[in-house]
Amino acid sequence: MERVNTKRINLGKNTIIGGQNKVLIQSMCNIKTSFSTKIIDQINECAHYGADLMRVSILDDKDLDSIKEIMDSIEIPLVADIHYNYHFAIDAINKGVNKIRINPGNLNNLNEYLEILNAAKKHNTAIRIGVNAGSLKNDNKLKVSDLLVNKALEYLHFAEEHDFYNLVLSLKTSNPLETIEAYTKISNLVNYPLHIGLTESGFDEIGIIRSIATLSPLLLKGIGDTIRISLTSDPIKEIMTCKRLLHDIGLYKNYPTLISCPTCGRTEVNIKPLAKKVLNYLEDNSINLKVAVMGCPVNGIGEGKDADIGLAGGKEKYLLFKKGQLIKTVDEENAFNALVSEINSMIKN
């Protein structure tokens, strides 16, 4: 897939955002930043599951005080998220964060914004200008997407006029269509890397569906250098959702594909627990295979023939198959172990 060739921004810790680099996955810690041990554990766990960078909120001096310890204990770039208080932004930059996220519209005036730009220039720190629909003034004459684009351009041009170019942009709303429109417009106007995502998307399937409805059309047009899927949930869930989305549209290679049938009147066993167990195993062990878990022995092998390997569940026996060919039959209690053993021999060869 051809991607928009944006400017490359160095985030430190061997991470580049933009250009033809991979789409970076990110999330945000949901623990107060001053609880540094917990934050470090969460960031390292997120990195283990595939986060390329992580963001933390800076709300007070205690949060600022923990930045150095956090920076020293993690391998991926740290982004500090600051609203309203420009001193916090400058302090976070001075303490060495790799990027800050601000919405200049939340500051008191442009002088405060300029002071942040000057500090970031001195430390070579990247800034994400994050404009959200919630911070815009109502204007019945303009569409939300145009308001977002105009605001982002205003802050971007101000930075450029002051010789600052180390920028990433985001323009978020909680409405998929407005968000798609805003990112499509800004992508045609500037070549800075774009952090794409939907804000306040909701929980579980609601948030996942809404986010994917927004991000997929953009990513398929080559728009987006880093993604966050904001869910009312755990950051690990956000990261896993990002990975699955990127994998399914061909932007994340080293990841398993699990297929399982929808089940029907021919279904003889409950395949959902088995399918979940198989997916967890594949993900935990980073096994890049296509694996099928099907609900009946009659059609299961045929419908799962595109998979590298699979199981078709039956009342009497489970059928273990590879590329549509039966390998052997196994009892239900041995089905998972038989599949795993065959997978392990495949990846060794």
Taking contact as CB under 6 A, which single stretch among the options 17-25, 135-143, 172-180, 288-296 is the one that binds ligand SF4?
288-296
Q: Which stretch binds ligand SF4 (CB under 6 A): 20-28, 88-96, 141-149, 290-298?
A: 290-298
Q: Residue 64 in contact with residue 88, Cβ under 8 Å?
A: yes
Polymer length of the chain: 349
- The answer to whether the beta carbons of residues 56 and 68 sit under 8 Å apart is no
Please tell me the count of residues contacting ligand SF4 according to CB under 6 A. 12
| Residue 258 interacting with ligand SF4 (CB under 6 A) | no
From the CB of 311, what's the least distance to ligand SF4, in Å?
A: 11
**Contacts of ligand SF4 in 83-142 (CB under 6 A):** none
Sign of CA dihedral 137, 139, 143, 146: negative
Asked if 267 is part of the footprint of ligand SF4 (rule: CB under 6 A), the reply reads: yes
Distance CA 242, CA 224 (A): 13
- Residue 48: which residues within 8 A CB-CB, separation 6 or more? none
Residue 242 is a binding residue for ligand SF4 (CB under 6 A) = no
Asked if residues 150 and 167 have their Cβ atoms less than 8 Å apart, the reply is no
Task: By CB under 6 A, name the one of 221, 299, 305, 327 that touches ligand SF4.
Answer: 299
Region of 166-174, 175-183, 209-217, 297-305 interacting with ligand SF4 (CB under 6 A)? 297-305
Rg (CA), the chain: 23
Query: Shortest gap between Cβ of 117 and ligand SF4 (angstroms)?
Result: 58
263 interacts with ligand SF4 by CB under 6 A = yes
**Would you count residue 272 as binding ligand SF4 (CB under 6 A)?**
no
In angstroms, what is the minimal distance from the CB of 205 to ligand SF4? 21
Shortest reach from residue 299's CB to ligand SF4, in Å: 4
296 binds ligand SF4 (CB under 6 A): yes
Nearer to ligand SF4, 235 or 300 (CB): 300
Closest separation in Å from C-beta 264 to ligand SF4? 3
Nearest distance from C-beta of residue 305 to ligand SF4, angstroms: 11
Backbone torsions φ then ψ of 193, nearest 5 degrees? -60, 145
In 3D space, the residue among 109, 108, 105, 101 whose CA is nearest the CA of residue 168 turns out to be 101
Tell me the closest approach of the beta carbon of residue 128 to ligand SF4, in angstroms.
Answer: 45
Which residue from 9, 53, 78, 261 is in contact with ligand SF4, where contact means CB under 6 A?
A: 261
Nearer of residues 270 and 344 to ligand SF4, judged by Cβ: 270
CA 307 from centroid of its chain's CA atoms: 26
Binding range to ligand SF4, per CB under 6 A, among 2-10, 65-73, 264-272, 330-338: 264-272
Structure-token match 């869910």, residue found: 231
Residue 250 CB, shortest distance to ligand SF4, in Å, is: 26
Contact with ligand SF4 (CB under 6 A) among 300, 310, 321, 343: 300
Contacts with ligand SF4 in 166-195 (CB under 6 A)? none
Task: Tell me how far the alpha carbon of residue 37 is from its chain's centroid.
Answer: 23
303: contact with ligand SF4 by CB under 6 A: yes
Nearest distance from C-beta of residue 337 to ligand SF4, angstroms: 22
**Which residue's CB is nearer to ligand SF4, number 8 or number 272?**
272
Return residues touching ligand SF4 (CB under 6 A): 261-264, 266-267, 294-296, 299-300, 303
